[in-house]
Structure formats: structure tokens, C-alpha cells
Structure 1
Amino acid sequence: MKQAIVILHGMGEQIPMATLNSFVNSVWTQDADLVSRTRPDPNTGKERDGNVSWAKPDPRNSSSELRRITTEKDKNENYTDFYEYYWAHVMQGTTWEHVKTWIKDLLFRIPPRRVAHAWVLLWIVALIIGGLTLWGLWPKAEAPAPWVAWLAALGGMAVTAFVSTVLIKRFGDVARYVKALPPNVAKRHQIRQGGVDLLSRLIDSGEYQRLVVVAHSLGGIIAYDILAETYARYNKIGGTGPQPERDALEQMIRDATESGSLDLDAFQDQQARAFTEAREQCAPWIVSDFVTLGAPLTHAEFLVAESHEDLRARQRDRLLPTCPPVMEYDGTTKTQHFSYSNKEQRQPIDRRTPHHAALFAYTRWTNLYSDEKYILTGDLVSGPVAEVFGLEFNNRENKGVLKGIRDIAVLPKLDAAGNVDKDHRRSFVSHNNYWSIDKGTEKVRGTDEKFVPHHIKELRRALRIAS
């Protein structure tokens, strides 16, 4: 089998291939479980130091700065091609005006409880800066003492540096992408279209049986939009015959709506079976998994929508795909489906076409996040997304949200009660460490063997490279 993995980098002035090279090193080169250690190195014929890969030009990247990284065969006879969707160059030209508009919008909205403390801190910083600015402009009877002038100058330099290097160069990407204001629309379209084009080229090539999309930070929001738009082009069903696995998946969602509970393991297993069934019936969609790392999608009601109610309305209207997908009533079968059929006489098991927002019927979503505390530990940007992008239901006996996304707490690992696991501890600002193999605090008892950090284990498990 041949598969492709596409990674989207996060905010900031990223360098082409930097994200991809470090990512491949952690999930491929140093994974001793993927290739037998006794197999000779294909480059030297001698004992290997790690799994081997090569960088090749590939026109599907649409950039001479990028390369496809292709691997040797793994233990299950799979070949993997790694691609980076690079979009940082599109965001050049961000100014303070772009960021200021976004910050003003954040300040005058009530935030979700999870980020309320950061919102308060943002207000404090804004008030301090505003106060110092007014003090500097206010007429004074006499010149301030030299030490006061020096402090004011140093403070001004610090504020200028913070605005330039943090707000404009980093959070400026977020400000311009998440808000559909006239100055941002062309940039948003260009970024999305480039991603849709890349996925379409990979799908249409017929070279790959499976595709995985991985996204870090702001790249998670971008990848979500790209997947939603691309799926709407490929939500087709080919071949002939019934669809028992698709029918079983829809029945599972219907049963969960009635009971108010969804078995996540069983749901993701059934997603995989429905995906395999669709591929065997010549369906063109090959994205089996979506993996988000440190994704701000957890704050979607604050960043993507205008409120919680607005977010749910967009999901019900199928503008934003949910997991499980939104269901609709079929007057012929007298039940709910995420698919439709124009056949006059039909049964639930008969061939049906998934609607344009049924992306997460066939694509599993795994979300790795780092639990934040006191802003400086963990990752304030990230958080669970299963509740935010789950399927809202309201029947006669129950109402709530069905959660079909696997949220995994890493850096640190949390136990079932939500407390830090006894073999782990919180780390300082972990937003950029999700595939850093030298990070993590897992303890190893009774062995001298090199261990794999918990977050790397979970990332590799989510990718299923050798599955």
C-alpha cells in the first residue's frame, strides 16, 4: 500500500520544510517499530541508525522550495510520502491595523470560561499600554526625572518589540485568517485554495490508497476548512451494491442520540469500516484520518463564530462539519441519515450518497492538546474539541452532544479524573513541542532502554503509519 501524510504548519514566519523535516524525524526516522532493525540500511548496506527516507522534487507541491519526503518500505509493506502544505508566505504584509481590529473584537466579547483568565490579562495589558501612552502625551509642568525618562523609553521599546515580533508576526496570522473582513478575504481564499488544490492533486493521482492530514496550531483551523471544502467535491459513491457498514454507522449514531451516549472506540472502528467499504465501492475520498496538534479549534465559538449559539447554527446549517456528522430525516425510510438517495423505493441499507458535510463519517479525527494552567504551563492555544465539534442532539428524553473526536491530553498526560498522571509533570509553554522527541517528562522505571515520550507515542498511534 502507498499512503500520503500532509502536514500544515502553524502561525508565525515559518521556514519551508522546517516543520516537515522535524516531523518526519519523530514519526518515521526514529520509530524503531516501523522497520526491522536487522534490515540493512538501503543507502549503505550496513547496520542502520534509523529508518531511511529521501527528499524528492514533486510538482504537486507547486513550489520549488518544497520537497516530497518518500520512505523505504515499512514492516507491513507500506510506502509513505510526506508533504508539507506551506502557507506562511501568503500572510506577508500583516500590519498593526489588522491585529488591532482583531484585538478590539476580542476585548469587547465575553470569552469562554476556559480562556477567561487570558482575556482578563489581555485587558490589563491593554489598559497599562493605554495608560502609559496617555501619560506620555499628557502636558507636564516640568521634565520628568532622568530615570523616569529612561524607564519610559525602555517600556516603549519593549512594547514595540512585543507588537512587532509577537502580535504582528505570530498572532497576526490568526487575526487575518479567522476574521472574514474585506482586507482578509483574498488571503483566506488563497490559503484555502492552495490546500484544496494539493489534496485534489494527491487524490486524483490515484497513487495513494490512504491520506492523513496533520495540522499544528492555526494550521488546524486552516486544515479543517480545507478538508470541508475538498470533501464537498469528493463526497461521491461509485460501484454497486448495498452499504451495510455505512448503514451500521448511521444506526450507531441514531442509537447514541436516543441513549445520549456514544462509544468512541466503537464509533471510530465503524468509521474505519465505512471508509473501507466506500473505497471498495470506488468512492474517491481517501482521507482516513485528521490529526490536530495544539489546535485553537477548541475556542471556535470565540475565534471562528460570533457566539456559542452562532457556532451551533453554522454546524446545523452544515457550514461547519461535525463529528459525528449532522443527520437529516428521510421521508421514505422514516429515519435519520447523513446520506441521501433519489431512489423512489429504498431501504436504509441501499446505496446512498453522503451529504456535503458528512466529512467525519469517513474520516477519523484525533486531537492532541496540552492542558494549560496559569498561562505559562501547557498550551493555552489548545484544548479538547470533541464537545465543540460534536453532534448536538435534543430528543424527548435527552439533550446534549455526541462526541466522536478522540481528545488526548499530552505534555502532560492526564488521568481519567483529569489530574496530571503521576509519572508526568507540567512543562513550560508546550505549544511547539507536540512532535519534539526530546521533550516530555515520562519516567522510566527498571530499564535502561531509551524510552519514547508519551506525546510521541500518541502521535504515532494516531497516524497509524504501519497499520
Structure 2
Amino acid sequence: MKQAILILHGMGEQIPMQTLNSFVESVWTADDTLIDPEKPDPNTGGARAGNVSWAKPDERNSSSELRRITTERDSAGNYTDFYEYYWAHLMQGTTWEHIQTWIKDLLLRDPRSRVPRRVFHAWVLLWIIALVVVAMMLWGLWPTVEAPKPWFVWVSALLGVVISAFVSAVLIKRFGDVARYVKAWPPNVAKRHVIRKTGVDLLDQLIMSGDYDRIVVVAHSLGTIIAYDIITMLFAKYNKLLDDGKPREMLQPERHQLEEMVRLAMAGQEPLDIDTFQDQQSKAFAEAKEQGARWIVSDFVTLGAPLTHAEFLIAESKEDLRARQESRLLPTCPPVLEYDGTTKLSHFTYAAYKDRRPEERRLPHHAAVFGYTRWTNLYSDDKAILTGDLISGPLGDAFGLETTGNVLKGIRDIGVLPKLDETGHVAEGHRRSFFSHNNYWALDKGTETVIPNVPHHIVELRKALRILQ
């Protein structure tokens, strides 16, 4: 089998291949479970220092700065190609005007209904910073008779330098990417379009090449929002998984079982167990491929995803987020169901022919991507802003399927850096780390678990990728 792993970097002025090289080191080169350590190194014929890979030019990359990293065969007989979708160069030209419009939109919200509890303290801090800046500006304009004290001049100058550096290095160069991508204001529309289209084209080329049996999309930080958009936009092209030339009698028992699982959970008859759900997604994915499906994105893995704050960042409120999901603008996991008058059941698919039984051939609607693509989310629990990762969080509630008084969660949320126990508290022997947002594939961070010399978050990341499947 041959598989591809496509990674999308996060916000900021990223360097081409920097994210990809460090990611491959963690999930491929240093993983001694993928290849027998006694097997000779394919380059030297001697003892190996790690699993081997090579960087090759590839015309599917849109930049000559990028390379495809291809691996030797692993112990399951798989070859893996790693790609990076590099988009930072498409987000140049951010100015303070872009930032201040976004900040005003965040600040001027009703805290009772439009500021989620998890980010309320950060929202208050943003207000404090804004008020301090305004106060300093007004103080500087206030007429005085006496000359200011020398210490005051020095303190004011130092604060001015700090604020200027913060605006340039943090707000514009980092959060400027977020400000320009998440909101469809006229100055941002062109940037959003180019970033999405370029990503859609790359993923589409990987699928249409016929080179791969499966593709895994991995994304970090703001890249998770971009990847979510790319996957959902492209699936709308592939949702008609079978052409009309296929037999009318074609059965889809695995897809039928997956829909039945969601229906029972919605009715409150059986809980939606995440292990069972993802296993059934995998079976429905394999069944669709066997019947001619071209969609081969088996897994979506998000790291440090600001999607957890979707109601705050990409929607106007929680009610607005749910409205967009119900209208299928923003796909959920499990997918939104629709009632079929023929089967008298709810489905995330529609009948390919009229008057068919529910287990016979059906096609997924355009927002049913997470009926076939498993979603795993790694996040770092935060405390007091400075520890963990405030940007990240669980996604099951935000992108689950809402029912009466409940949300069906089809996303596997895993707390890492630190590891969380079943109650959601920090597991014994683990501790929070300072600003863990950039550490999701760092080999020298975190705490070991059952595998010596491998921190917990690396173990979970490797599990999510399923390279040996």
C-alpha cells in the first residue's frame, strides 16, 4: 500500500519545509516500531540510526521551495509520502488596519451571549490591553505645564517600544493571519480564496493521481481551519461516490450500519462510543472505495486547533454556528441527517434510485465528509493563559451533531501536554507546560508514558496517523 500524509502549518512567518522536516523526524524517522531496527540502512548497508526517507522534487507542489519526502517500505509493506501545503507566502501584506478591524469585532461583543466561557478571561485581558494603550495615548496628548519627570519619559519610551514590538511581532505577523482568514470582510476575500483554492488543487491532484490508497490530512493551529475548509470544499466534488453505471442492486451494509448507529444515538437508545464509531467509519470508507469511490482521505488530524472557538472566531454566536452547520455550510461529525420519505429513516445519504431499501446504494450529501473521514483532535488543556494551549481545546461539542439537549461527538478528542485522565484532570505524573502551542510533535517536550523515551503526545500523534494500518 502507498499512502500520503499532507501537513498544513500554522500561523506566522513560517519557513518552507521547516514544519514538514520536524514532523517527519517525530512520526517517521524516530519511530523504531515502524521498521525492524536490525534491518540494514538502505543507504549505507550498515546499522541504522533511524528510519530512512528522501526528499524529492514533485510537480504537484506549487513552490520550488518544497519537496516531497518519501520513505522506505515499513514493516507492514507500506510506502509513505509526506507533503506540506505551504500557504504563508499567500498571506503577506497584513497591516494594522486589518488587525484593528478584527480586534474591534472581538471586543465589541455581548459577553453574556457571544463570548464563550473558555475564552472569557482572555477576552477580559484583551480589553485591559486595549484600555492601557488608549490611556497612554490620551496621557501623551494631555497638556501639562511642567516638564515630565525623566523617569516618566524613560518609562513611556520603553512602553512604547514594547507595544510597538508586540503589535509588529505578535499581532501583525502571527494573529494577523487569523484576522485575515477567519472573517470574510472585503479586504480578506481574495486572500481566503487563493489559500483555499491552492490547497484544494493540491489535495485534488494527490487524489486524482491514483498513486495512493489513502491520504491523511494533518494540520496545526490556523492550518486546522484552512484544512477543514479544503477538505469540506473538495468533498463537495467527490460526494457522488459512485457513478450511474454501477449496478442498481449494489448493497452498502457498512454505510447502513454507520447511519443506524447515529440514528440510535440521536434517539437516545444507545450512546455513541467513539471507538465503535471510528471503526465503523473505517468500514464504510473501505466499502465505498471497493464500490468505486474516489474519496481517499481516511483521516483528519488536528493539533492545537482554534476550531474549538468556532462560535467566537468563525461565527457570530453559538446559535449562528449551529445554524451554519444545520444548513450544511459547516460539516459536522457525525454528519447532519435528513429524513427520507421512502425509507422512513434519517440518513446522511440520499437514494441513488427511487424506492430503494436503506441498505442499498445511496450517495452521501455534500456535507457528509465525516461519515467517511475519521477526525482526531489533539489539544493541550490550558490554565491561567500562560500554561497549556489556550488556542486549542476539544472539538466534539463545537462540531458534533446537535440533538435535543445533547451533542453527539464523533471526533476523538485527546488531551496532551499534559495527559488528561478520564475525569478531565491532569493525569498523575504529568504537569502543564508553559505555552505548549508549538510542541505537538516536539520529541523533547512532555512526559513519557508506556513507551520509554517517547512522550505521551508523540504516542497519541503516531496512533492518529495509523502509518502501519
- The whole-number CA distance in structure 1 between the counterparts of 2:108 and 2:309 is 16
What is the 5 A alignment of 1:260-275? 261-275=271-285
- The whole-number CA distance in structure 2 between the counterparts of 1:139 and 1:384 is 51
Is the contact between residue 241 and residue 293 of structure 2 (CA under 8 Å) also seen in structure 1? yes
Runs of 4+ in 1 over 6 A off after TM superposition: none
Is the contact between residue 337 and residue 346 of structure 2 (CA under 8 Å) also seen in structure 1? yes
- The whole-number CA distance in structure 2 between the counterparts of 1:313 and 1:402 is 16
Structure 1, unpaired ranges of 5+? none
Number of the residue aligned with 2:354: 344
- The whole-number CA distance in structure 1 between the counterparts of 2:425 and 2:277 is 26
**1:380: Cα distance to partner?**
0.4
Question: Is 1:142 paired with 2:174?
Answer: no
Cα distance per residue 1:16-37 (max 9 Å; x no partner): 0000000000000000000101
Q: Which amino acid is the alignment partner of residue 287 of structure 2?
A: E
Is the contact between residue 423 and residue 442 of structure 1 (CA under 8 Å) also seen in structure 2? no
Q: How many residues align?
A: 459
Q: Which amino acid is the alignment partner of residue 221 of structure 1?
A: I
**1:419: Cα distance to partner?**
1.1
Number of the residue aligned with 2:400: 390
- The whole-number CA distance in structure 2 between the counterparts of 1:393 and 1:378 is 31
What is the 5 A alignment of 1:48-63? 48-63=48-63
- The whole-number CA distance in structure 2 between the counterparts of 1:200 and 1:451 is 38
**1:344: Cα distance to partner?**
2.1
Number of the residue aligned with 1:84: 84
Is the contact between residue 352 and residue 363 of structure 2 (CA under 8 Å) also seen in structure 1? no
Question: Is 1:293 paired with 2:303?
Answer: yes
Is the contact between residue 352 and residue 361 of structure 2 (CA under 8 Å) also seen in structure 1? no
Number of the residue aligned with 2:457: 455
User: For 1:246, which of 251, 255, 263 is the aligned residue?
Assistant: 255
Number of the residue aligned with 2:439: 433
Under a length normalisation based on structure 1, what TM-score does the superposition of the two structures give? 0.97
What is the 5 A alignment of 1:52-131? 52-109=52-109, 110=111, 111-131=115-135
Number of the residue aligned with 1:374: 384
Q: Which amino acid is the alignment partner of residue 249 of structure 1?
A: L
- The whole-number CA distance in structure 1 between the counterparts of 2:344 and 2:466 is 38
**1:343: Cα distance to partner?**
1.7
Moved more, 323-332 or 240-249: 240-249
Structure 2, unpaired ranges of 5+? none
Number of the residue aligned with 1:356: 366
**1:263: Cα distance to partner?**
1.1
Identity of aligned residues (%): 71
What is the 5 A alignment of 1:401-416? 401-416=407-422
SS at match of 2:398: coil
**1:371: Cα distance to partner?**
0.2
Cα distance per residue 1:104-123 (max 9 Å; x no partner): 11011131000101111111
Cα distance per residue 1:153-202 (max 9 Å; x no partner): 11101100000000000000000000100000000000000110000000
- The whole-number CA distance in structure 2 between the counterparts of 1:236 and 1:2 is 24
- The whole-number CA distance in structure 2 between the counterparts of 1:167 and 1:42 is 46
SS at match of 1:131: helix
Moved more, 414-423 or 319-328: 414-423
Q: CA RMSD in A?
A: 1.0
Number of the residue aligned with 1:183: 187
- The whole-number CA distance in structure 2 between the counterparts of 1:440 and 1:259 is 38
- The whole-number CA distance in structure 1 between the counterparts of 2:144 and 2:78 is 74
- The whole-number CA distance in structure 1 between the counterparts of 2:33 and 2:429 is 23
User: For 1:312, which of 298, 306, 322 is the aligned residue?
Assistant: 322
SS at match of 2:44: coil
